[in-house]
């Protein structure tokens, strides 16, 4: 899921070749935006932003709903491009566009409440009023990945726009077409230069970091670190979602049929190229053998192959050829250290693209890269554990912390265990879908990211700058704490501290 951020541009006039994931056939050649083009786009965005922010929130929402109508009208071209450049199954492709449409409806309905100025207590300053107002940051840059181009680009652009910002999106160099088409459809309604798309690889992304008031990135931890270092030079706020190594904890009383179905889907959806994929499964010993047997049977029924409107597949090829190298390296390392591949483990037949069989691995441990590094492929490693305590300990023994799941019929116990897992989000008897719940924020801990986005008030307020405001409505010549200072007033304050918090007369007030 990496998106690079480097520093030196290629030769002027360079073009970017976009290829079909399933066949390798060329889809388009696009001019790369250099540093000058990025600066020009930023200037246009800054000019477009103030009049946009000056519009009423209701009007901004109405325009975004009209923009959604244009996207749906242009869905055939957008979906076809997304299908070809990602290689994903049709259901996943349509699901991306559906998510974008749902995000617009959700935030337009709730933004008036989420962005409404809030009254706050002015204590200890009696007689005054306090409030917080939410102001747009200005120009927001979005660097989005190749695995879910629409969801992860427009999913951030929508609340940023609604909050009153201008937005520049730099999609992955592997999958820029659907994002370009969707933004072009929206721009038939939105004011000029409010939503722009830049084309390029890491150099274009680096130049974008230098130009914006906030940068939002979905990528690898290494990319996030480079972005954060570069943004720090201008103290530019960052919002980072940086992948995961998500654990699934299956207790001995779990509904094994449901857990097996979830592990197969959570591990192989979109060829396993999901930041929230099930990448580690810890199963209590009494049911580990049965769970693994059923999982192998289920995985052998999954279908991979070339995608298309009528294709009968569950997942397609890798979006980029480099990803299979990581998967094969992890599997080779695991086998060398004693792991057993129970099904799959090798490339599947296919023309042009790179396909991989659904894979189950047993006899794994934390000495293996397969349980420590993000694999990002259709591979599910299963580890038997002695107890739920061991499962939680191993789940937390990771540098990642994006999502997790706990599976048990004892819901109260499941919730208690879930609260102990170190992750930005967690499910009980469910997996991945917490990211699709509009009212839940999404973000990671540890190397999985900085900040929360997508859902709830957090999902739109993150694109604003809270401004604290204190108001005095009375006409007063001076305040008690203004000059001149007097020793008597200092003694009164000291006495008050003793009275309230020093134990004088047994008092222990707050």
Catalytically active residues are: 241, 275
In a 3-state reduction of DSSP, which class is residue 347? strand
Handedness of CA 175, 320, 402, 400 (dihedral sign): negative
Instruction: Please tell me the distance from the alpha carbon of residue 215 to that of residue 212, in angstroms, as a whole number.
Output: 7
In a 3-state reduction of DSSP, which class is residue 373? coil
User: Is residue 334 a contact partner of residue 381, using CB atoms and an 8 Å limit?
Assistant: yes
User: Is residue 37 a contact partner of residue 198, using CB atoms and an 8 Å limit?
Assistant: yes
Handedness of CA 50, 56, 60, 63 (dihedral sign): negative
User: Is residue 227 a contact partner of residue 217, using CB atoms and an 8 Å limit?
Assistant: yes
Q: Which residues of 165-175 are buried (b: 16+ CB within 10 A; e: fewer)?
A: bbbbbbbbbbb
String of DSSP letters for 25-84: -EEEEEEPP-HHHHHHHHHHHHHHHHHHHHS-HHHHHHHHHHHHHHHHHTHHHHHHHHHH
- Take residue 56 and report the two structure tokens written for it: 């009423």
* H/E stretch holding 395: helix 388-396
Match 């048990």 to its residue by tokens: 408
Q: Name the E strands within 190-245.
A: 195-197, 214-218, 238-241
């Amino acid at each position: 899921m990496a998106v690079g951020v480097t520093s030196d541009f290629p030769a002027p006039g360079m073009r970017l070749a976009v290829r079909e994931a399933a066949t390798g056939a060329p889809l388009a050649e696009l001019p790369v935006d250099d540093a000058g083009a990025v600066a020009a786009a930023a200037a246009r965005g800054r000019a477009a932003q103030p009049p946009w922010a000056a519009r009423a929130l209701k009007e901004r929402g109405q325009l975004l709903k009209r923009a959604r109508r244009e996207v749906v009208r242009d869905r055939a071209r957008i979906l076809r491009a997304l299908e070809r450049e990602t290689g994903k199954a049709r259901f996943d492709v349509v699901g991306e566009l559906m998510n974008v449409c749902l995000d617009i409806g959700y935030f337009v309905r709730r933004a008036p409440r989420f962005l409404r100025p809030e009254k706050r207590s002015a204590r200890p300053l009696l007689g005054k009023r306090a409030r917080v107002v939410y102001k747009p940051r200005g120009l927001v840059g979005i660097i989005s990945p190749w695995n879910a181009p629409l969801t992860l680009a427009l999913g951030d652009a929508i609340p940023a726009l609604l909050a009153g910002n201008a937005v520049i999106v730099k999609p992955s160099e592997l999958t820029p077409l659907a994002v370009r088409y969707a933004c072009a459809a929206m721009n038939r309604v939105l004011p000029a230069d409010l939503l722009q798309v830049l084309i390029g690889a890491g150099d274009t992304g680096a130049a974008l970091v230098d130009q914006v008031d906030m940068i939002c990135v979905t990528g690898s931890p290494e990319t996030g670190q480079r972005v954060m270092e570069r943004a720090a030079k201008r103290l530019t706020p960052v919002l980072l979602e940086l992948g995961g190594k998500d654990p699934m904890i299956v207790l001995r009383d779990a509904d094994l049929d449901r857990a097996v179905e979830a592990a197969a889907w959570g591990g192989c959806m979109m060829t396993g190229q999901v930041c929230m994929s099930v990448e580690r499964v810890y199963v209590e010993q009494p049911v580990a053998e049965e769970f693994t047997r059923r999982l192998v049977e289920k995985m052998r029924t999954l279908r991979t192959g070339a995608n298309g409107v009528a294709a009968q597949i569950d997942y397609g090829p890798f979006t980029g050829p480099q990803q299979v190298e990581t998967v094969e390296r992890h599997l080779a390392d695991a086998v060398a250290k004693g792991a057993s591949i129970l099904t799959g483990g090798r490339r599947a037949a296919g023309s042009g693209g790179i396909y991989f069989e659904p894979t189950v691995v047993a006899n794994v441990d934390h000495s293996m890269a397969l349980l420590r590094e993000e694999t990002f492929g259709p591979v599910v490693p299963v580890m038997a554990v002695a107890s739920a305590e061991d499962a939680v300990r191993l789940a937390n023994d990771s540098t990642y912390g994006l999502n997790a799941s706990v599976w048990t019929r004892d819901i109260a116990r499941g919730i208690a265990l879930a609260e102990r897992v170190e992750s930005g989000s967690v499910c009980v008897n469910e997996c991945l879908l917490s990211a699709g719940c509009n009212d839940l924020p999404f973000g990671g801990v540890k190397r999985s990211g900085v900040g929360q986005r997508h859902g709830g008030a957090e999902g739109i307020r993150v694109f604003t700058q809270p401004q604290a405001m204190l108001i005095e409505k009375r006409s007063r010549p001076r305040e008690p704490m203004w000059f001149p200072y007097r020793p008597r007033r200092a003694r009164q304050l000291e006495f008050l501290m003793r009275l309230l918090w020093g134990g004088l007369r047994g008092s222990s007030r707050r």
